[in-house]
Structure 1
Amino acid sequence: MAVEGIERVAIVGAGLSGVIAARDLAVAGCAVHIFEKSRGAGGRMATRRAEGFAFDHGAQYFKAHGADFAAEIAAWRSRGFATSWGEDRFVGLPAMNAPVKALADGLPLTTGFTLARIEGGPGAWTLRAEEGAVAGPFDAVLVSAPAPQTATLLAAAAPDLAQAAGRARYAPCLTLMLAFEPDDVPSPLAVPERPEHAAIAWIAEDGTKPGRLREGARRIVVNATPEFSRAHLEEAPDAIAEALLAAVAPLLGATAAPVHAKAHRWRYALVEEPVGQACLWDPARGIGACGDWCLAGRVEAAFDSGRALARTVLGEG
């Protein structure tokens, strides 16, 4: 049962933490509505499709350290939208964003809604988008954006929570998505996933993951190290792609240029300093926040934070 006085709940952000919070609150009887600035659910459990290619260009896999997330993964696997990738690693099926999309299915979700301000007051909060739309009123607002964005959005409505969110620190990550003709790179790649390299932190071929297309072009995802990412963060995407390709090409042993090369800038990628508590909640205002930045830099932390916030709102925390 929903807590008395909290029936209408807005969730800002359709990444894993926000969608999990929305699901648990909806099960408890709350009328939830998710607002997301991008085109769909997933957050950093992301899949990019361009020019006929698909890349898991955000989180590369997830693991379960605790029983709660292990049970969730088991449920995802039983429903066919997650599977194992190695001994203790899991991926979404058929793409990394599949679990979050499946969880959001059936929940009210407004996409293309970039929150500018939280207006109103306790029991009657409204959300004003940069695009001009206004949504509400809501009894509670839960923000699941990256910590710096959360701090900005909560500055006026809940300054103490904004200050707490502002303690989290991230490392950025620049990602390069490459596609080669099948015979233009070795099969399998003759480089470890985590090479000891000043610029490159991770290399993976999407076709090695279950459920991905294995025929046609060889699709490779490259993540830069935090140091390289910080040094090149503000460059134009084409310049980032060129610099990353120059760094990774000798490792790949490619015999020809890629047929596709695009860079993505994850400004808030790797949580280096979490807040140190499972979630943030101000019961007097009906304002809260969650995300991996509360606990640790992994997918499970986002799940745990979203669940913790839902339980706290419901008076179960």
Structure 2
Amino acid sequence: MAQQGISDVAVVGAGLAGVIAARDLAAGGRGVHIVEKSRGAGGRMATRRTQEGLAFDHGAQYVRAHGADFAAEIAAWAARGLAAPWGADGRFVGAPSMNAPVRALAAGIPLTVGTTVAAIEGEPGRWTLSAAEGGRLGPFAAVLVTAPAPQAAALLAPVAPALARAAGAARYAPCLALMLAYAPEVLEHPPGPAQRPDHPAIAWIGEEASKPGRAAGAPWRIVVHATPGWSRAHLEETPDAIARALLAQAAPLLGARSEPLYAVAHRWRFALVEEPVRRPCLWDPETGLGAAGDWCLGGRVEAAFDSARALARAVLEETRR
């Protein structure tokens, strides 16, 4: 990957926070380029598609607005067919998949995927991003990091230690997820759309076909999220071991008579914000470095959205001076 002049702002991370910050900056006239380590946009608003043709929303369970700004955003998604109501209490899910709104918002913004940013190097006004896969991107006038707080702190520490210390104050709980597929006759009773059982290991069970825009019919496709305590206790086990252990906890709740057709675990190491930084975003106009994410404000998708918008405003306000 050769060094190249791409744009004047780099955004590290293509989850909701990164894509919203990039969208607002582009709308304000800034050139933006997003760099993402995975295969596409979405972050924890994630959808796993399998070789067997199954799809699981294995990250964020749903979105819900508490403030007018995010309510207007969800309404705009719904008007475009990118989100739809699911159940009660103002819950919405992406349609036809949880990552659909983020993927749509990222369309038209330069996006490099499959690239892990290993370091921010250079000097103010001429930052480059060193990729773990080799090569570098840049130079950039500004770099905004929207990765989880521990990853953001590690990237910022050599070049913006004060920002890194602030990000390092955030604390997370992990979440282990299990994606299951069952033949219809295997379950004693059809799973409900979503349930939060009173259980020491299981925090959430969701059935995929109950969501708008999803394929109906067999097999049953179920996502199980473990509790924070159980997730911490099993976090460093192999994915296969996690799947076996979490299946042993979930199968009795599902009334499963035999083994599933599909059972794969996913480790969300930075899933639930337990202690936020309690600042809308982090931004240093002297260096042109900043950070945003749910970890700035609290553990909801809306917090990632609000933090991203705050960071974009701060960057644009600096440009106007």
Query: Aligned partners of 1:185, 1:311: CA distance in 2, in Å?
Result: 51
Corresponding residue number in structure 1 for 2:62: 61
1:230 corresponding residue in structure 2: 232
Any stretches of 5+ residues in structure 1 without a counterpart?
1-6
Give 2:147's aligned residue: 145
Aligned 8 A contact 2:45 2:59 in 1: yes
Match runs of 1:1-317 below 5 Å: 8-50=8-50, 51-87=52-88, 88-189=90-191, 193-315=195-317
8 Å contact from structure 1 (residues 172, 270) kept in 2: yes
How many residues are paired up? 311
How far residue 99 of structure 1 moved from its aligned partner, in angstroms, is 0.4
> What's the CA shift string for 1:154-206, capped at 9, x where partnerless?
01111100000000000000000000002211443269610000000000101
Maintained 8 Å contact 1:191/1:252:
no
| Change over 3 Å in CA distance of 1:191–1:8 after alignment to 2 | closer
Distance 1:231 1:210 in 2: 34
Provide the residue aligned with 2:4 in structure 1: none
Q: Deviations over 1:38-81 (max 9, x none)?
A: 00000000000113211000001000000000000010011111
**In structure 2, what residue type is equivalent to 1:9?**
V
Distance 2:44 2:222 in 1: 18
Structure 1 vs Structure 2 CA RMSD: 1.3
Q: 1:241 & 1:187 partners in 2: Cα distance?
A: 22
Structure 1 CA distance for aligned equivalents of residues 76 and 315 of structure 2: 24
Q: Distance in 2 between matches of 1:133 and 1:194?
A: 46
Q: TM-score normalised to the size of structure 2? A: 0.95
Retained in 1: the 8 A contact 2:281–2:310?
Answer: yes
Encode CA deviations 1:260-315: one digit per residue, 9 max, x unaligned.
00000000000000000010000000000000000011100000010000001111
CA–CA separation in structure 2 for the residues paired with 1:273 and 1:289: 16
Tell me if the contact between 1:171 and 1:270 (Cα under 8 Å) persists in the aligned partners.
Answer: yes
Query: What is the letter of the counterpart of residue 56 of structure 1?
Result: D
Match of residue 4 from structure 1: none
Task: Report if the CA contact (8 A) 2:193-2:206 is conserved.
Answer: no
Deviations 1:201-225 (A, max 9, x none): 0001011111111112100000000
Does the Cα contact within 8 Å between 1:95 and 1:212 map onto a contact in 2? yes
- How far did 1:113 drift? 0.8
CA distance in 2, matches of 1:197, 1:122: 51
Distance across 1 between alignment mates of 2:218 and 2:107: 31
C-alpha distance in structure 2 between counterparts of 1:308 and 1:267, whole Å: 25
- Letter of the structure 1 residue corresponding to residue 15 of structure 2: G
TM-score, normalising length from structure 1?
0.96
Cα distance in 2 between the residues matched to 1:15 and 1:185: 35
